[in-house]
Chains A and B, each alone.
Chain A
Amino acid sequence: MKQTILDYIKNEYIDEDEADEVELDENTTLISSGIVDSFSMVSLKRFLEKKYSISIPDDQATPEAFNTVASIIQLVEKFKK
Chain B
Amino acid sequence: MAYPSIVHEAYQAELNAIREKGIFKQERFIHSPQAAGISVEFPAGQAPRRVVNLCSNNYLGMSSHPEVVAAAHKGLDERGYGMSSVRFICGTQDLHRQLEQKLTEFLGTEDTILFPSCMDANGGVFEAVLNDQDVMIADRLVHASIVDGMRLCKAMQDTFKHADMKHLEQKLQEHQDKRVRLIITDGVFSMDGDLAPLDEIVALAEKYNAMVFVDDSHASGFMGKTGRGVHEHFNVVGKIDIITTTLGKALGGASGGCVSGRKEIVELCRQKARPYLFSNAVPPPITAGALKVLEIVSASTERRDRLEVNQKFWRQAVPEAGFVIKEGASPIVPIMLFNAKLSQDVARDLFQEGVYVIGFFFPVVAAGQARIRTQMSADHDIPMLKDALEAFKKVGAKYGILGLDKKGIIEKYGI
Contacts and interface: CB of A to CB of B under 8 A. Distances in A.
Interface string B365-393: 01100000000000000000000000000
B366 A34 contact: yes
B158 A43 contact: yes
B158 A39 contact: no
A43 B363 contact: no
Contact of A42 (B157, B161, B362): B157
Nearest to A41: B159
Contacts of A37: 140
Given A15-B164, A33-B367, A39 B159 contact: yes
Given A15-B164, A39-B140, A39-B147, A34 B159 contact: no
Interface of B: 138, 140, 147, 157-159, 161-162, 164, 362-363, 366-367
Interface string A19-41: 00000000000000110010110
Contact of B161 (A13, A33, A34): A13
Nearest to A14: B161
A40 B159 CA distance: 6
Q: B-side binding surface: helix, strand, loop or mixed?
A: loop
Contacts of B158: 42-43
Nearest 6 A-B pairs (CB), nearest first?
Answer: A34-B367, A40-B159, A34-B366, A42-B157, A39-B147, A40-B140
A61 to B, nearest CB: 13
Contacts of A40: 140, 159
23 contacts: A12-B161, A13-B161, A15-B161, A15-B162, A15-B164, A16-B164, A33-B367, A34-B362, A34-B363, A34-B366, A34-B367, A37-B140, A39-B138, A39-B140, A39-B147, A39-B159, A40-B140, A40-B159, A42-B157, A42-B158, A42-B159, A43-B158, A43-B159
A15 B363 CA distance: 18
A16 B160 CA distance: 13
A81 B161 CA distance: 33
Contacts of B162: 15
Contacts of B147: 39
Interface residues of A, number: 11
Nearest to B363: A34
Contacts of B157: 42
Nearest to A33: B367
Contacts of B164: 15-16
A75 B140 CA distance: 25
A71 B320 CA distance: 47
Contacts of A15: 161-162, 164
Given A34-B362, A43-B158, 13 more contacts: A12-B161, A15-B161, A15-B162, A33-B367, A34-B363, A39-B138, A39-B147, A39-B159, A40-B140, A42-B157, A42-B158, A42-B159, A43-B159
A12 B366 CA distance: 16
Most chain B CB within 10 A, of A15, A39, A40, is at A39
Contacts of A33: 367
A15 B157 CA distance: 20
Nearest to B144: A39
B338 to A, nearest CB: 13
Contacts of A39: 138, 140, 147, 159
A72 to B, nearest CB: 18
A68 to B, nearest CB: 16
A19 B162 CA distance: 14
A36 to B, nearest CB: 10
A16 B366 CA distance: 16
A37 B147 CA distance: 12
Nearest to B162: A15
Nearest to B147: A39
Nearest to B151: A39
A40 B138 CA distance: 9
A16 B147 CA distance: 24
B155 to A, nearest CB: 12
A39 B164 CA distance: 17
A15 B366 CA distance: 13
B391 to A, nearest CB: 31
Contacts of A42: 157-159
A17 to B, nearest CB: 10
